Amino acid sequence: MTKMLRLRWTSISSGAALAALIGIASAVAAECPRKDALGTSRVLSVDARTTPRVGLKSFPQTLPLADHEVVLTFDDGPNPPTTSKVLAALAQECVRATFFLIGQHASQQPDMVKRIAREGHTIGHHTFSHPFMARIPFDKAKTEIDRGIAADEMALHGTSTTTPSTPFFRFPYFEATQAQLDLLQSRGIVVFGADLWASDWNEMTPEQELKLVTERLAAAGKGIILFHDPKARTAAIMPAFLRYLRENGYRVVHIVPSGTSQKNADAR
C-alpha cells in the first residue's frame, strides 16, 4: 500500500465527436469578489436529446471535459448542518456545483433547497427515498422517480410537478434497469453517473477521504466527481479539497440543461 501522505488542512500542496453532442455555453460564472479564488471556469450546457447518459463508471461516454477540468456533484441532501458547510466552502471559492437531492429530504428542508439554487448551483434529482432501483418493480421505480421530482419541484418552486425544471437525474447506488434508463431518456432527462468518487459512504477520517479523492483525481486528470453533502467528513474536507484544485491547476465546470444559463437559479 502506498505510504500515507500528510495533507495539510490549511494548504495542499472521441473528444470532437462528443463535444458536438453537447452545447457548450460561453457564459461564465458571475464576477467573483475574491480575485485569488478558484472560481468557476465555464458553464457546460448538457442536452438530453444527444447525451442521455454520462459518467464512465456506468456508461461508455462522459462529458467533454478538457484535462484538469472537473464537475463537482453532491448526492443525498439536503442536510442543513453539513450542506451549509459545503455551500459555505463553495461560496468562499466562487465555485458552482450540482446537487442531486432526495425528494424526502427536499420536502423536509425547502429553505435549504431554495438556498442551494439561490447560490447558483444546479439542482438534480435522486428519487424520493433512495431505494435500490434495479431491485424493485418498474411501476414502483417510476413512482420513486416521479415523487422525487415532484418533491424537489415543490420545495424549489412551490409547484408539484413530475416535469423537472432541471432534467438531471442520478440513480441511487448507480443501479438501474434498461427499462428505467429508457423511461428517463424518453422524458428528456439526462442520467448522470460519475467518473470518480470520494467513497465517502465508507467509514474513514476526513484526512483519509481527502487523500483518496485527490489521488484518484490525479490519476484520472479530469472528470465528474461524486461526493455526498450529508457526510460530515465530506463537509470537513471541502475547503481543503477546493484549495487542492486551485493550487494544482484544476478548473471547475458548471453544468446546466441545454437552452438555459441556469433554470433553477430564480428561486429566491
Q: Which residues are identified as catalytic?
A: 75, 228
Pairing, β 53-54 against β 168-169: unpaired
For residue 257, give the amino acid letter: P
How many distinct helices (H) and strands (E) make up the chain? 8, 10
Backbone phi and psi for residue 46, each to the nearest 5 degrees, phi listed first = -105, 125
* Cell representation of residue 244: 487542492
Please check whether residue 227 is in contact with residue 198, taking contact to mean a CB–CB distance below 8 angstroms: yes
* Cell representation of residue 162: 413530475
